Amino acid sequence: MGSVFIAGDWGTSRLRLYLCDGAEVLDRKSGPGAVGAGLAHEAVLFELIAPWIAEHGPLTVLLCGMVGSRNGWVEAPYVACPADAAGLSAQLVRFEVQGCAIGVVPGLKAISPRQAPDVMRGEETQVIGALSVLPHLAKGRHLLAHPGTHTKWVQVEDGQIVTFQTAFTGEMFALLSTHGTLTNLAAGDAADLSDGFAEGLARHERSSASGLLHELFETRSRQLLDGWSPAHAVNFLSGLLIASDVAGALTQFDSAGGPITIVGDPSLSERYRLALARQGIASELLGGEACALAGLSALFQPQAESAPS
Amino acid sequence: MGSVFIAGDWGTSRLRLYLCDGAEVLDRKSGPGAVGAGLAHEAVLFELIAPWIAEHGPLTVLLCGMVGSRNGWVEAPYVACPADAAGLSAQLVRFEVQGCAIGVVPGLKAISPRQAPDVMRGEETQVIGALSVLPHLAKGRHLLAHPGTHTKWVQVEDGQIVTFQTAFTGEMFALLSTHGTLTNLAAGDAADLSDGFAEGLARHERSSASGLLHELFETRSRQLLDGWSPAHAVNFLSGLLIASDVAGALTQFDSAGGPITIVGDPSLSERYRLALARQGIASELLGGEACALAGLSALFQPQAESAPS
C-alpha cells in the first residue's frame, strides 16, 4: 500500500484532490480555494478525504499551490532556483495531522542580478510534471510557457528549472476587458478567435518599438473610427497582449531551436501557440491539470524513497 | 463689446466656464461633466451663464472637450490632421441657442499608414493654447506631451498639429493601483515622489526590451520578497509606466533637439519632466487649464474676424 497517496492542487480558486496509486488515479474530488480569512484548511481537507482514509488508512497528502502561501494553510517559503524534483521534494514543508503525513510544496523564487526578482507558486509543480511527462526535456535547454493570470516563462536546463519570468498578461487582459474605457464587453472573453486576434498579433509586430501603452489605445480608437464591435476589440486586445508577452519572453529566454512546451488551459494555450507560430516557433501543448498531477506524483517518489529511514 | 465671449472647457468630469474680454478673464464658474444620459446641456449651461448674459447681452459661447463627443451635447466630428487654430476654427460646429452663438470645437484624428488611427478631444484646444502661449513653437518641429488618463504626444511643425499618439498611461496606472493584485493601495497615488518612482524609471531603462507585461510583476514580487510598502510599490509602478510611455513616444516622435512642452496637471507633468530628464531631454511645463483657456481664445479670434461678413 506504500504507493497509494493523495495529491492535491490547492490554488486560489479551487482544490483538486486525487487518490493515486502510483501513476493511476483511483478517485478524485474537488473543494474550495486555499486562500480566505479563517478558512479551516484541516477541516475542509479531512472532510473530503475521510472516505479514502477509511478505506486505506492514514495516507501521505501532497499539496501544491496557494495553500503554501503566507495566506494559505502553512507557509512553505520560496525555494531559490535552480531547482528540480528532488530539490523541491527535499524542501517540502511536512507535518502530521490526524495520523496523515502532509507535505506542502514550496514556491520558487528566481533571484539574479540581470533580472527583477520573481516568484511562482503552484506552477513549479506543473513544470516538474511536464518534465516527467516529456522525458526529452530532461536533457539540454528548453523553454516552457505557463499561460494564465500571471504567465510564467520557465527556462529549463538538463532537467533543472534555472530561472523564470512572470508576465502580467492574463490579469491585464481581465482588467482591460472588464474595467476602463478600452472595451465595453461586460464580462470576459469573446466567444471565438475571430480575425481580431490575428490583427492584434500583427499590430504588435508592426509597432512593438512604441510599447504596449502606445499600442493599447487602438482598441478604443478603432471602435470610434472604424466601428469595431466590442467582441472584435476584445480579440484584438488579446492578440496585442499575447504578442507583446511572447516577444518580451523571447528577448530573455530561448528554447535552443526546439519547440516550446506550453502548459495550461487548452484554449489559452492555443492562443500562445498561434502567437509563437507567427514567430516561426513550434509548440507542444500539455494540459495544466494533468501536469499538476504528474508533478505531485514525481514529488511523491523521492519522499517515498526516504520514508524507510 | 465684440471682444467679450464665453469660453468653456466641458470635459467628462467637469465644466469650466470663463467670461472673457480678449485675453482677460472677467469671471469664472464651474459645473458638471458633459457626458451623462439625459444631461440637459442647454439648461445646465444657460443657468450658469444667465448673469453674464443679463449684463452683456447674447454672447458667443465656445466649448471644447467631451461636450462635442457622440455622447455629449452636439457631435463635432473629428477633424483630420494636420490642423491648426484657423482650421479648427473653420470646423467649429455652430448653432444658436437663446440668441447666443454656440461653437463646439471638433476633436482631432490622426490617420496614417505608418501608425494606428488615433483620436483626441479636448487636448487639441490645449495644444492650440500652448502654441499661442509659447510663440517660439510656431516655427520648426516641436513635441508636446499632454499627460493624463490618456496621455497625448503631439508632433507640431510650423504651428500645425501634424500627428499625435495616445498612450494609455494614466488609465493603466489607475487600473493597476486600485484593482488587481499588483498593489494593495485602496485609492490612487502615493503621497510623494519617494525613491520608488526613480526606481521604476531605472528599472524600465534596464529591462525595456522585455516589455511592460514582463516588467510589471516586479511591483508584486518585491512586496513579497523585499517587503516593499504599498506606497513604494505604487510609486515604482508610476515610474515604470511613465518611463515606458516616454520611451515609446521617443521612438515615434522627436522635438528636434529642443525641449518638450508638457501641458497638464503640474504634479503629473513633473513626473514626466523627471522621466524625460533621465533621457537628457529638457521640458517646459504649462498648466492645462490655462492652455485650454488660451486655446479657446485663439479659436475665438478667427471667428470674430469672420463675424462682420
Tens-digit pLDDT profile for residues A102-117: 999 999 999 988 788 9
The closest of B285, B287, B254 to B155, measured between CA atoms, is B254
Contact of B123 with chain A, judged by CB distance below 8 Å, is answered with no
- Among the residue ranges A92-101, A290-299, B208-217, the one predicted with the least confidence is B208-217
DSSP helix, strand, coil percent of chain A (3-state; round to 5): 45, 25, 30
Q: What is the per-residue pLDDT for A18?
A: 97
What whole-number distance in Å separates Cα of residue A72 and Cα of residue A33?
A: 9
The closest of B77, B166, B92, B85 to B126, measured between CA atoms, is B85
How confident is the prediction along chain B (309 residues), in pLDDT tens digits per residue? 479 999 999 998 899 999 999 889 999 999 999 877 677 999 999 999 999 999 999 999 999 999 999 889 999 999 999 999 999 999 999 999 999 999 999 999 999 887 889 999 999 999 999 999 999 999 999 999 999 999 999 999 999 999 999 999 999 999 998 888 887 654 445 556 677 999 999 988 887 778 899 999 999 999 889 988 888 999 999 999 999 999 999 999 999 999 999 999 999 999 999 999 999 999 999 999 999 999 999 999 644 444 443
Are the beta carbons of B226 and A194 closer than 8 angstroms? no
pLDDT reading at A2 higher than 90:
no
Report the percent of chain A where pLDDT is more than 70: 93
Contact of A238 with chain B, judged by CB distance below 8 Å, is answered with no
Contact B171 A181 (CB under 8 A): yes
pLDDT bin (cut points 50, 70, 90) of residue A185 is low
pLDDT reading at A221 higher than 80:
yes
Best mutation target among B108, B164, B210 (most A Cβ atoms within 10 Å) is: B210
**C-alpha to C-alpha distances, B175 to A44, A271, B52, B240, nearest whole angstrom:** 35, 25, 41, 14
* ipTM summary value: 0.88
Which residues of chain B does A221 touch, with a Cβ-Cβ cutoff of 8 Å? 116-119, 166
Q: What is the per-residue pLDDT for A32?
A: 92
Contact B167 A213 (CB under 8 A): yes
Q: What is the per-residue pLDDT for A304?
A: 47
Q: What is the per-residue pLDDT for A49?
A: 98
Q: What is the per-residue pLDDT for A191?
A: 58
Interface size between A and B, measured as CB pairs under 8 A: 145
Q: Which three cell numbers stand for residue A308?
A: 524507510
Contact B116 A211 (CB under 8 A): no
Collapse the DSSP code of A107 into the 3-class scheme (helix H, G, I; strand E, B; otherwise coil) and give the result: coil
What whole-number distance in Å separates Cα of residue B35 and Cα of residue A305?
A: 69
Q: What is the per-residue pLDDT for B171?
A: 94
Instruction: Write down the residue that cell numbers 504596449 correspond to.
Output: A212
Which residues of chain B does A150 touch, with a Cβ-Cβ cutoff of 8 Å? 217
What whole-number distance in Å separates Cα of residue B302 and Cα of residue B309?
A: 12
Span A134-184, pLDDT tens digits? 999 999 999 999 999 999 999 999 999 999 999 999 999 999 988 888 876
pLDDT reading at A68 higher than 50:
yes
Contact B207 A115 (CB under 8 A): yes
**C-alpha to C-alpha distances, B290 to A212, A287, B8, B129, B302, nearest whole angstrom:** 31, 58, 12, 8, 20
Which residues of chain A does B224 touch, with a Cβ-Cβ cutoff of 8 Å? 119
- Which helix (H) or strand (E) segment holds residue B240: the answer is helix B230-252
C-alpha angle B188/B282/B9, rounded to 5°? 50
Best mutation target among A213, A215, A219, A250 (most B Cβ atoms within 10 Å) is: A213
What whole-number distance in Å separates Cα of residue A33 and Cα of residue A199?
A: 36
Instruction: Write down the residue that cell numbers 519547440 correspond to.
Output: A259
Contact of B209 with chain A, judged by CB distance below 8 Å, is answered with yes
Contact of B250 with chain A, judged by CB distance below 8 Å, is answered with no
Q: What is the per-residue pLDDT for A206?
A: 81
pLDDT reading at A189 higher than 70:
no
Which residues of chain B does A244 touch, with a Cβ-Cβ cutoff of 8 Å? 211-213
Terminal-residue alpha carbon distance, chain A: 18
**C-alpha to C-alpha distances, B160 to B91, B140, B155, nearest whole angstrom:** 15, 10, 8
How close A237 comes to chain B (CA, Å)? 13
What whole-number distance in Å separates Cα of residue A25 and Cα of residue A41?
A: 23
What global pTM score does this model have?
0.91
User: What is the pLDDT averaged over residues A196-209?
Assistant: 86
How close A247 comes to chain B (CA, Å)? 7
Mean pLDDT of chain A, nearest integer: 91
pLDDT bin (cut points 50, 70, 90) of residue A207 is confident
What whole-number distance in Å separates Cα of residue B11 and Cα of residue B154?
A: 19
Which residues of chain A does B116 touch, with a Cβ-Cβ cutoff of 8 Å? 203, 207, 215, 217-218, 221-222
Instruction: Write down the residue that cell numbers 482631432 correspond to.
Output: B108
Best mutation target among B70, B168, B242 (most A Cβ atoms within 10 Å) is: B168
Collapse the DSSP code of B221 into the 3-class scheme (helix H, G, I; strand E, B; otherwise coil) and give the result: helix
pLDDT bin (cut points 50, 70, 90) of residue A23 is confident
